Amino acid sequence: MSNSNTRFDIPQSEIPTQWYNIQADLPRPLPPVLHPGTKEPVGPDDLAPLFPMGLIMQEVSQDAYIDIPEEVREIYKLWRPTPLLRARRLEKALDTPAHIYYKYEGVSPSGSHKLNTATAQAYYNKQEGITGLTTETGAGQWGTALSQACSFFDMECVVYMVKISYQQKPYRRAIMETFGASVTASPSDTTQAGRAILERDADSTGSLGIAISEAVEAAVTSEGKYKYALGSVLNHVLMHQTIIGQECLKQMALADEYPDVIVAPIGGGSNFAGIALPFLRENLKNGRQTRLVGIEPAACPSLTRGKYAYDFGDTMGMTPLVKMYTLGHDFVPPPLHAGGLRYHGMASIICEMYNQDLMEAAAIPQMETFQAAITFARAEGIVPAPEAAHGVAGAIREALAAKESGEKRVILFNLCGHGHFDMTAYNAYFADELSDYEYPQAQIDAAMANLPQV
Amino acid sequence: MSNSNTRFDIPQSEIPTQWYNIQADLPRPLPPVLHPGTKEPVGPDDLAPLFPMGLIMQEVSQDAYIDIPEEVREIYKLWRPTPLLRARRLEKALDTPAHIYYKYEGVSPSGSHKLNTATAQAYYNKQEGITGLTTETGAGQWGTALSQACSFFDMECVVYMVKISYQQKPYRRAIMETFGASVTASPSDTTQAGRAILERDADSTGSLGIAISEAVEAAVTSEGKYKYALGSVLNHVLMHQTIIGQECLKQMALADEYPDVIVAPIGGGSNFAGIALPFLRENLKNGRQTRLVGIEPAACPSLTRGKYAYDFGDTMGMTPLVKMYTLGHDFVPPPLHAGGLRYHGMASIICEMYNQDLMEAAAIPQMETFQAAITFARAEGIVPAPEAAHGVAGAIREALAAKESGEKRVILFNLCGHGHFDMTAYNAYFADELSDYEYPQAQIDAAMANLPQV
């Protein structure tokens, strides 16, 4: 391979055979998850109504590496390894001495990194005789991925889609139905939770919190037929995504460079974790000093402006209590187009990384992310999803800082998905209908006054 | 590489350095293109108002190979080589002894093979000092590709988009605007042709024929600022696509197999030509006997039910006369969802291949193509564009024939693009709103009664 290559391909025989579990190497362990009633640590049995034991064991495992089942690797071969590209045209457009690399997860058939964990979750459920999975989706990336994964394993998929998205994103619904999923607008009359909401407000356009409640209820009342699947936040979900960073380690070696800094968006944390954790291991074990930078929306700044405290994972206060950087479980983020990043909290693993000074975080306003996405698209051809645009914007900040200081800097970012189903957001940007959101501290303080007592 | 691989990757250093020109090897040469007034063969100068001389020379070249400029190859590296995959899961789903391979051009940033020629066309225009390109788009694949190509070379792009598509496909418009194109609903008041239509019918929803007239007028009245670009049909366009088949030759060798049959959709012909022509050369020069099968919609059956005669390339009768299998230039195909295949004629190269028995053709009804697309999507993950679904349906017919006869058959097809911007069609399919179209022969005869006299 010559230096003029822009893509660094590894063969399918080099798809990683194990997932990497950061719990084995964190300097201090994760704080326990607490039962919302007893405030005692929850055990595997508490989670059994929702998840199969194979995933619960991964959730609490302290092993550094866990084998990827052969059947999962066979599915991964439909799109993996994903490409690592050097953004030479973007470097030129920015006139920067930095070398910018991006890992492109949008080549997955679902269009994002979500299929990495959806495939694994469907597999472990299938192994334990579960015939279908329930879940919620907002922007639609996760619902699409789980629909495909269930189709691969001949399982049913029941998706509760936030009603406003269901109405505004008929293409998302269509692709899930193409894979045989049943898609229901939430709130619906198919669950008690949905009916209760509709009784109070027949015109409710729904929320992710409500859709979660419906999906969880549909699983626990199915008499063992269905279980529930979550697309981010949990330890096992982040672990499944480490296949991304492991591939990057090999591909950066092909490019004969090593990243000085890694950038990725953070909403629940799985995308950032996927690319960063294998490099964090190199920092911890092999003396590397790569900076790891998570980018969150300025309008939903959990790490940069939240509080490290025990809180509920959902809006309704039904889940176990998790210690995390939170804006308060009843914090309502604005109608940001990066729907996948509108989460009040953050994965426990990411929170401990931040707490233990193993990573940095930055908050970027919406308009800057769209400007960055368009600069990137015109240089490299790919239109990023609004969530992915946060990673692009973070990488561009790093590249401009390198230009300012005149240093060569090797930047790697995770382009977690394309924006083909999000073009409404770009239309709104071009029509001057978008803006930034700035929170008065008092509003965040108010949302946090309602944190549960532990 | 082990036999269990599903993807056969070649490095960027193996991107072909030349396009292949079938004109050098056709047993009998192409019939001349005639001036619509004099009925004499047209020369390069007749085409100069519309195209740059670099492309006109390619149009008439008899050289077997033409170098791909370095600048074009650098752009190709953003997404090429594209993957060749073996559809092992589809084979299992069909329970066929056939081996099914597909070349996936949907990984291009524009989502289809069209970017291969758009990039080349933008380059040659830029070389001759042209500052922008005009074109028409219906379904939107071509408009998207040309918008991106113009953005790569810092050129303006003026797209006339059929008004009904402009209204129904806001995502398509958004992606073109993301790349800086100016998109105008056609008929518009920006051209004489458009104004003439609007005077007769203020509510006209437009047609590809009208949009072509507007784009051509915008180019020829621009005083040399703009030229016009066409996404299929012409010899140089088909030649640019041969990069697809050349890559396949190397990738099939990696898979240690050789195709018995190659299948691809045919509308104007560039997608089929792209994968088939390098293999046709192997048939003609090296004793191979691969069957080459073009799949057209049963609702627009140019090759299988048309007449081989001189006809206009456009609906309005303004272009030179080309000898082709045609349904008559005023044949109006039904509102088929595979908009890219709704063309009354066919590329001259494809027509001579068919006339000289160098290829086969089959017509497949719309419903069968959607059923095939869904079978493919559930097995392999990728949702095909409605045009690409014709190739899938043709490949499945071949695989089932192999099952019937119990023979191993190596099938290769071109999956020319994804359907992310065409999910309306899938929604219509699931809502039982689609049907097949069957033409009474009398209707085709009537359309052909109007062929120009030569």
What pLDDT, on the 0 to 100 scale, is given for residue A439? Answer: 79
- What pLDDT, on a 0 to 100 scale, did the predictor assign at position B2? 40
Q: Comparing A86-90, A191-195, B334-338, which segment has the lowest mean pLDDT?
A: B334-338
**How does strand B99-104 pair with strand B84-86?**
antiparallel
**Is the four-CA dihedral B86, B87, B92, B96 of positive or negative sign?**
negative
- Residues of chain A contacting B115 with CB distance shorter than 8 Å: 381
Beta sheet of A132-137, edge-to-edge order: A182-186, A156-162, A132-137, A226-228
- Those residues with Cβ within 8 angstroms of residue A216's Cβ, 6 or more apart along the chain or in another chain: A50, A134, A228, A318
Confidence check: pLDDT of A333 > 80:
no
Is B132 inside any structural domain? no
Residue at B206 is within a domain: no
- Radius of gyration in angstroms for the set of CA atoms belonging to chain B, rounded to a whole number: 21
Interface check for A408 against chain B (CB to CB < 8 A): the answer is: no
Distance CA B1, CA A74 (A): 15
Task: Tell which of B177, B178, B370, B415 to mutate to test the A interface (max A CBs under 10 Å).
Answer: B178
pLDDT of residue A2: 40
A85 vs B: CB within 8 A: yes
Q: Is B261 helix (H, G, I), strand (E, B) or coil?
A: strand
Average pLDDT over chain B reads 94
The two tokens of residue A443 are: 């509003």
Residues of A in contact with B74 (CB under 8 A): 4
Contact A426 B1 (CB under 8 A): no
Q: Does A431 contact chain B (CB < 8 Å)? A: no
Assigned domain for A276 exists? yes
Residue among B401, B423, B424 nearest B411 (CA): B401
* pLDDT at B332 > cutoff 80: no
Q: Which of B85, B170, B178 lies nearest to residue A374, judging by beta carbons?
A: B178
> Is B340 part of any domain?
yes
Distance CA A26, CA A31 (A): 12
In a domain? residue A2: no
pLDDT tier at A362, thresholds 50, 70, 90: very high
Q: Does residue B81 lie within any of the structural domains?
A: yes
* Spatial separation of the C-alpha atoms in residues B128 and B135, rounded to whole Å: 18
A432: left (phi over 0), alpha (psi -120 to 50) or beta: left
* B392-431 residue pLDDT tens: 999 999 999 999 999 999 999 999 999 999 998 999 999 9
Chain A: residue whose CA lies nearest to B379: A152
Smallest Cα distance from B7 to chain A, Å: 7
Residue to test with chain B: of A1, A77, A107, A371, most B Cβ within 10 A? A77
Q: Is position A145 within any domain?
A: no
How many residues does this entry show for chain B?
Answer: 454
CATH number at residue A345: 3.40.50.1100
User: Is the Cβ of A396 closer than 8 Å to some Cβ of chain B?
Assistant: no
**Lowest-pLDDT choice from A379-388, B9-18, B166-175, B290-299:** B166-175
| Alpha-carbon distance B4 to nearest alpha carbon in chain A (angstroms) | 9
Cis peptide before B278 (omega within 30 of 0): no
- The ipTM is 0.94
Instruction: Report yes or no: A423 and A116 within 8 Å, Cβ to Cβ.
Output: no
* Residue B442 DSSP code: H
Closest Cβ–Cβ partner in B1, B170, B381 for A427: B170
pLDDT in tens, A397-412: 999 999 999 999 999 9
Span B308-317, average pLDDT:
86
pLDDT of B337 reads: 79
**Quick check: helix, strand or coil at residue B67?**
strand
Give the C-alpha separation, B42 to B322, whole Å: 10
- pTM for the model: 0.95
Q: DSSP letters of B125-179?
A: HHHTT--EEEEEESSSHHHHHHHHHHHHTT-EEEEEEEHHHHHH-HHHHHHHHHT
> Which residues in chain A have Cβ-Cβ distances shorter than 8 Å to B109?
380-383
Query: What's the confidence (pLDDT) of residue B446?
Result: 86
Per-residue pLDDT, averaged over B28-51, amounts to 93
Q: Is B416 near chain A, with CB under 8 Å? A: no
A283-294 pLDDT tens trace: 999 999 999 999
CB B15 within 8 A of CB B77: yes
CB atoms within 10 A of CB B64: 15
**Using one digit for the tens of pLDDT, what is the confidence trace for B159-203?**
999 998 898 888 999 999 999 999 999 999 999 999 999 999 999
pLDDT over 70, % of chain A: 99
Q: What Rg value do the Cα atoms of chain A yield, rounded?
A: 21
B83: containing domain: 7-14+69-111+236-448
The DSSP call for residue B23 is G
Q: Band of the pLDDT at B3, cuts 50, 70, 90? A: low
Contact B78 A6 (CB under 8 A): yes
Kindly state the average pLDDT of the residues A57-83: 97
The answer to whether A7 contacts chain B (CB < 8 Å) is yes
Contact call for residues B348 and B23 (beta carbons, < 8 A): no
Distance CA A338, CA A398 (A): 21
Helix H, strand E, coil C: the string for chain A is CCCCCCEECCCHHHCCCEEECHHHCCCCCCCCCECCCCCCECCHHHHCCCCCHHHHHHHHCCCCEEECCHHHHHHHCCCCCCCEEECHHHHHHHCCCCEEEEEEHHHCCCCECCHHHHHHHHHHHHHCCCCEEEEEECCCHHHHHHHHHHHHCCCEEEEEEEHHHHHHCHHHHHHHHHCCCEEEEECCCCCHHHHHHHHHCCCCCCCHHHHHHHHHHHHHCCCCCEEECCCCCCHHHHHHCHHHHHHHHHHHHHHCCCCCEEEEECCCCHHHHHHHHHHHHHHHHHCCCCEEEEEEECCCCHHHHCEEEEEECCCCCCCCEEEEEECCCCCCCCCCCCHHHCCCCCCHHHHHHHHCCCCEEEEECHHHHHHHHHHHHHHHCCCECHHHHHHHHHHHHHHHHHHHHCCCCEEEEEECEECCCCHHHHHHHHCCCCCCCCCCHHHHHHHHCCCCCC
Tokens for A78, please give them: 């439909």
Q: Do B177 and A78 touch (CB under 8 A)?
A: no
Beta-carbon contacts of residue A28 (< 8 Å; ≥ 6 apart) = A352, A356
What are the backbone dihedrals phi and psi of residue A54, each rounded to the nearest 5 degrees, phi first?
-60, -40
The C-alpha atoms of residue B430 and residue B424 are separated, in whole angstroms, by 10
Distance from CA of A141 to the nearest CA of B (A): 13
What was the pLDDT predicted at A168?
A: 82
Residue of B383, B415, B433 to mutate when probing chain A, most A C-beta within 10 A: B383
Contact of B114 with chain A, judged by CB distance below 8 Å, is answered with no
And the tokens for A438?
Answer: 């700035």
* For range A441-447, the mean pLDDT: 85
Say yes or no for a CB contact (<8 Å) between A11 and B11: no
Q: Which of residues 118-157 of A touch B (CB under 8 A)?
A: 148, 151-152
Tokens standing for residue B368: 């069968």
Confidence of residue A3 (pLDDT cuts 50, 70, 90): low
- Tell me the average pLDDT across B80-96: 98
Among A341-345, A355-359, B279-283, name the one with the lowest average pLDDT. A341-345
Does A134 map to a domain?
Answer: no
Using left for φ > 0, alpha for ψ between -120 and 50, and beta otherwise, residue B111 falls in left
Total domains in the fold of chain B: 1
> Which residue in A110, A175, A423 is closest to B174 by CB distance?
A423
pLDDT, residue B1, reads: 36
Confidence band for A237, pLDDT divided at 50, 70 and 90: very high
pLDDT digits (tens, 9 = 90+) for B99-141: 999 999 999 999 999 999 999 999 999 999 999 999 999 889 9
d(CA A289, CA A270): 22
Q: How far does the CA of residue B444 sit from the closest CA of chain A (Å)? A: 35
Q: Which of B326, B363, B323 is nearest to B343 (CA)?
A: B326
Copy the structure tokens of residue A320.
């176990």
- Chain A hits for B13, Cβ within 8 Å: 1-2, 5
Structure confidence at residue B144 (pLDDT)? 97
Asked if the model's pLDDT at residue A341 lies above 70, the reply is yes
Let me know: does B426 contact B118? Beta carbons within 8 Å.
Answer: no
The predicted-structure confidence for B215-231, as pLDDT tens digits, reads as follows 999 999 999 999 999 99
The Cα–Cα gap between A394 and A293 comes to 8
- Mean of the per-residue pLDDT values of chain A: 94
